Structure 1
Amino acid sequence: MKNIIRTTTAITTLGLVAAMMAGCASAAADPGTGESAAPVDELRLGYFANVTHAPALVGLEEGLFQDALGDVDVTTQVFNAGPAAIEALSAGAIDATYIGPNPSINTFIQSGGESARIVAGAATGGAALVVREGIDSPDDLAGTTLASPQLGNTQDVALRKWLADEGFETDTSGGGDVQVTPTENAQTLTLFQQGELDGAWLPEPWVSRLILDAGAHVLQDEADLWDDGAFPTTVLLVRKEFLDEHPDVVADLLKGHEAAVQWIADNPDQAPAVINGAIEKETGKPLDDAVIERALEHVTFSVDPHADTFETLVQNGIEAGTQKEGSIEGLFDLRLLNKQLEAEGEDTVSASGLGED
């Protein structure tokens, strides 16, 4: 049964659980070998009911994860934003999660590199600042209230950094020239429709929902802020202890993940319905056809995590005031993925000096 995480556990409790897990960790296998230290019969996977997490949605709906994992059962938990997923990962409640890059960076730095590793990319693009009628330039944002999915998540950092570049001050308590209010995506839509919010920096399909269902328009597409429009929106993050102890299971997860990315590329006519069906299961309501089609036009799915962008993402988080300074050397472990890509005759992907590849 899929359980939707709606609340977070006390930080002190999570810290205690994480400490207990670290104390009980057994001898680790080398992830590059694909050999596990001990058998496991379950992989607990987190994801969001977002278009930017389509490889997770397709992998589950089409049975691609289960096909790849064989006798290892896939159980799932659904999250609204990255920080909540990180809390579950850190507490050992899940083994892997689809997630944005900034929460991945945060947990790595805060744990001194002991918490998790990015093992693959999943999606690029598909995030933007959308606003109400009457806001036509950044200058019009003074005194407005904008939403992001959660404090410290990838879109929250992007919004705060962009506002700073435009000359606005913000703070994590909601003060400043522009008030940034972290809000669940579904609630953001409702509040925007009610006139309680002036805009939001969101991932797809929420960008398209605010545009088509609520009359918003794009003020800043995040793709326009990056070279070639390529910026990571979603990566596949695995708890380090699980990766160390069960590299063969992670290798099979990656096979399912790559199969899902390829399925989306190979089935452009079927993908919207499959993705929409998965979203309906988790949210209780499907997206309009126009929404899902527009959303998919703005997202690219790839196993490349675009590691070359992560140093910039670190600096953005520091400037946004949502993360500590620290090294991300070692954040990536792409050995299992690249071994798989080499066996298939595909181009390998780079950790850009930030880990193993």
Structure 2
Amino acid sequence: MKKISAILLAFAMTASMLAGCGSSAADSSSEEQTQSESQSGAQETESEPVDVNVTALKGPTAMGMVQMMDDADNGKIDSENYQFTIAASIDEVTPSISQGETDIAAVPANVSSVLYNKLEGGVQVLAINTLGVLYIVENGDTVQSVADLRGKTIYAGGKGATPEYALNYILQENGIDPASDVTIEWKSEHSECVAALAQDPSGIAMLPQPFVTTAQAQNPDLRVALDLTEEWDKIQENAENPSALLTGVVIVRTEFAKEHPEAVSDFMERYKSSVEFVNENVDEAAQLVGNYDIVPAEVAKKAIPACNIVCITGDEMQEKLSGYLAVLNEQNPEAIGGQLPDDDFYYTQE
């Protein structure tokens, strides 16, 4: 009996052990399945479209986006949910970025640095979207070089912003003191400069595109005397770290870029394609620019080739923009928010 009892006990212990192993394997299998389902669910969530709020200013900084805007409005984009806003003034854009209402924005180049410093690294630059668009125009034929501006009166808009700093830099580098060698009449808006030219037969003005085209439409005799982008480049020819005259950049909220890198990548691919379309299909692009009330289509058609619309990213972006900001910093540190941005200001694709 004792032998039989021992055998039965051994069977019972073995059965118990096997049952335990079976339970452990089942639990392990169930856990793996749960993890797999969880990972799958996370992947599905990440791939779902996110809301991307984009803001651009009226003018060249918005022109490069028009094909992308049109595709989004016509349901041709389903990767992300894009919402575009065209603002009339930078004063409308900066608060919306600060408050997280705008995720991506096209802004003046120096404003990007101001926001970076103000928000303590809260924005990053994705791309340079517009090179120089400033020109000296006149009702006559007296200005053939920067030196010819000495003693002249220049109507200009953009005091305290890129136009003022660019003009001062180019004048100074050509031996002209902006405070004493020329008279600069600052206007609150570029349209006021156009009006001043219309009333002054010998008038000279610094205007950006597309206002140059608008002014020439009103006065066909108005001549483009100097391209300030070319004049800037002449100064930089022998520089150790050459910079470029820039107008606008595209920035992203740093928090948004960290949370939605796929959305940022999607935007950049579509934006680059849109810029290429605008530059290669001027007539069609001009119609879209008019449709979005950025500037009239007939103005856009003539202005686009002179607007220097680009999409420059990566190392080239950092080289050009950092050099430009360094020039502004030498003139007035407040123009860039008090100090040059750190390297994390320049967005790099992970």
Conserved 8 A contact 1:64-1:256: no
Q: Deviations over 1:276-331 (max 9, x none)?
A: 333xx246xx253xx43432222444321433222321232124323433344222
Q: Structure 2: any 5+ residue segments left out of the alignment?
A: 1-42, 238-242
Size of the aligned set, in residue pairs, is 291
From 267, 276, 296, give the equivalent of 2:281.
267
- Equivalent residues of 1:65, 1:256 under 8 A apart: no
Q: Indicate how the Cα distance of structure 1 residues 52 and 220 shifts in structure 2: closer, same or farther if over 3 A, else same.
A: farther
Q: Distance in 1 between matches of 2:250 and 2:130?
A: 10
CA contact (8 A) 2:165 2:331 kept: yes
2:259 to 238, 245, 251: 245
Q: Which residue of 31, 44, 64 maps to 1:55?
A: 64
Determine which of 157, 162, 169 is the counterpart of 2:170.
162
For the structure 1 residues 335 and 100, does the alpha-carbon distance in structure 2 shift closer, same or farther, using more than 3 Å as the test?
same
Q: Secondary structure at the match of 1:335?
A: coil
Alpha carbons of structure 1 residues 149 and 78: separation in structure 2 relative to 1, 3 Å: same
Query: Which whole-Å deviations, capped at 9, do the CAs of 1:96-153 have from their partners, x for residues lacking one?
Result: 21123222233224444x131111232334332323436525444536243134522x
How big is each residue's C-alpha offset from its partner over 1:44-90, in whole Å with a ceiling of 9 and x where there is no partner? 2221222353222332134389644545241414134x565334423
Matched residue, 1:307: 318
SS of equivalent residue, structure 1 residue 303:
strand
- 233-242 or 138-147: bigger deviation: 138-147
Contact conserved, 2:282 with 2:301, CA < 8 A, in 1?
no
Q: CA, structure 1 residues 231+160, in 2 after alignment: closer, same or farther (shift >3 Å)? A: closer
Q: In the alignment, is residue 131 of structure 1 matched against residue 131 of structure 2? A: no
- Report the AA paired with residue 330 of structure 1: D
Q: How does 1:42-121 map to 2 (within 5 A)?
A: 42-63=51-72, 67-68=76-77, 70=79, 72-80=81-89, 82=90, 85-112=93-120, 114-121=121-128
Partner residue in 2 for 1:122: 129
Structure 1 counterpart of 2:210: 205
Please name the residue that 1:184 is paired with.
189
| Cα 1:42/1:327, change in 2 over 3 Å | closer
Counterpart position of 1:142: 151
Shift of 1:221: 0.6
Structure 2 CA distance for partners of 1:95 and 1:201, relative to 1, 3 Å:
farther
User: Tell me, which stretches of 5 or more residues in structure 1 are unaligned?
Assistant: 1-33, 337-357
Task: Describe the shift of the 1:57–1:88 C-alpha distance in structure 2 as closer, same or farther (beyond 3 A).
Answer: same
The answer to whether the 8 A contact 1:66-1:72 is kept is no
Asked whether the equivalents of residues 41 and 72 of structure 1 are also in contact (C-alpha less than 8 Å), the reply is yes
Contact 2:49 2:81 in 1 (8 A): yes
Does residue 223 of the first structure (1) align with residue 223 of the second (2)?
A: no
In the TM superposition, what is the alpha-carbon distance from 1:38 to its structure 2 partner? 12
Tell me if the contact between 1:68 and 1:256 (Cα under 8 Å) persists in the aligned partners: no
Task: Return the alpha-carbon distance in structure 2 between the equivalents of residues 91 and 182 of structure 1.
Answer: 31
Cα 1:111/1:132, change in 2 over 3 Å: farther
Instruction: Report what 1:329 is aligned to.
Output: 343
Distance 1:176 1:96 in 2: 41
The one-letter amino acid paired with 1:298 is A
**Does the residue aligned with 2:262 lie in a helix, a strand or coil?**
helix
- Is residue 2:321 matched to residue 1:316? no
Post-superposition offset of 1:248: 2.8
CA distance in 2 between counterparts of 1:129 and 1:140 reads 10
Output the amino acid matched with 1:248.
E
Code of the aligned partner of 1:204: Q
Aligned equivalents of 1:319 and 1:35: distance in 2? 50
- 1:201-220 C-alpha deviation (Å, 9 max, x unpaired): 33321122223433432232
2:279–2:305 CA contact under 8 A, matched in 1: no
Query: What letter corresponds to residue 229 of structure 2 in structure 1?
Result: A
- What is the Cα deviation at residue 333 of structure 1? 0.7
Deviations along 1:20-64, one digit per CA (max 9) or x if unpaired, are xxxxxxxxxxxxxx9999988533222122235322233213438
Q: Pick closer, same or farther for the CA change 1:275–1:208 going to 2, 3 Å.
A: same
> Aligned equivalents of 2:331 and 2:78: distance in 1?
39
- The answer to whether the 8 Å contact 2:138/2:224 transfers is yes
Question: When the two structures are superposed, what TM-score results if normalisation uses the length of structure 1?
Answer: 0.67
Aligned to 1:19: none
Q: 1:93/1:192 Cα in 2 relative to 1: closer, same or farther (>3 Å)?
A: farther
